Amino acid sequence: MATEGPAPRTAVDDQGTPLVLPRGPIRRVVSLVPSLTEAIAVSAPGVLVGATDWCSHPAGLDVDRIGGTKNPDTTRIAALRPDLVVANEEENRAPDLEALRAAGIPVWVTEVRTLDQAFRSLDRLLTLLTKDSGLPRPQWLDDARDAWADVPPPPDRPHRAVVPIWRRPWMVVGRDTFAGDLLRRLGFHQLYADHDERYPAIPIDRLRASGADLVVLPDEPYRFTATDGPEAFPGLPAALVSGRHLTWYGPSLAEAATLLTQQLQATLPPPD
């Protein structure tokens, strides 16, 4: 009498959505999120079969490219026969994720708005991808936890910052964001943290009059540079920072606290 193989597994993603996963280890993954692409490639080598055009890390990643985060080619993704697609509620559009689910593909959606959420989310997802394959727990994940645990608590009177992420129109970091939480931990209060929107559009004259101590200009999603961004805030110190370290949750977190602190502090006047 023939015996059946192991039953499909069930899991729940960050949004509480149930997924039916294939029998055995997950061996084929498509990532729609650059930071998750890096985290998976480093932690479970060989598992990724597809990633977006914006997935720039790790360098030399050799997988099929399936379009952008906002316009992935769902037909191409389905043709890759993934065991799992990983996505993010902020970076990816619901209609694209629904199209993948309709094609019978499990979609794991992350929801990350704080550093603590990032660590919990990464731990769950990477355990799912590594444990059944006999791979070790990613060392970088523990290194990142330790690095951020060593950050001193924020001061009672943090530096006040505005954090543009786009221009034409000007848009800034608002409420309930991962980048805002990292800045808070590093001693910087971004002035639109209580705004109704997560990434509000704010006219430049209001940004200049916001009472900020400095403007924080990341190099993504808009690539602010020394000649593109600071000139819009005359008289205000401008900190050019790594967008990958400010907004990605992955291996970059292990060095983000140190690097961002250096980039931010270099802009501030010396203490009295």
155-265: CATH superfamily = Nitrogenase molybdenum iron protein domain (3.40.50.1980)
Residue 110 C-alpha from the chain's centroid: 9
Q: What is the pLDDT of residue 7?
A: 64
pLDDT in tens, the chain (272 residues): 444 555 678 899 999 999 999 888 899 999 999 999 999 999 999 999 999 999 999 999 999 999 999 999 999 999 999 999 999 999 999 999 999 999 999 999 999 999 999 999 999 999 999 987 788 899 999 999 999 999 998 888 889 999 999 999 999 999 999 999 999 999 999 999 999 999 999 999 999 999 999 999 999 999 999 999 999 999 999 999 999 999 999 999 999 999 999 999 888 766 55
For residue 144, give both structure tokens. 């990142």
The length of the chain in residues reads: 272
Task: Tell me which DSSP letter residue 201 carries.
Answer: B
How many of the other CB atoms lie within 10 Å of CB of 170? 19
Residue matched to tokens 């309709």 = 102
pLDDT in the model for residue 1: 45
pLDDT of residue 5: 54
Positive or negative torsion for Cα 252, 256, 259, 263: positive
Q: Cβ neighbours of residue 15 under 8 Å, at least 6 residues apart?
A: 89, 109, 111
Q: CB within 8 A of 99, min separation 6: which ones?
A: 74
**Could you say which architecture CATH assigns to the domain 9-137?**
3-Layer(aba) Sandwich (3.40)
CA dihedral 161, 36, 198, 14 (to 10 degrees): -130
Burial class of residue 117 (count of CB atoms within 10 Å of its CB; 0-12, 13-18, 19+): middle
**pLDDT given for residue 6 in this prediction:** 58
- Confidence (pLDDT) at 37: 97
Helix (H) / strand (E) containing 78: helix 74-79
Q: What is the pTM of this model?
A: 0.90
Q: CATH 3.40.50.1980: which residues of the chain? A: 9-137, 155-265
What is the phi/psi pair of residue 133, to 5°?
-90, 0
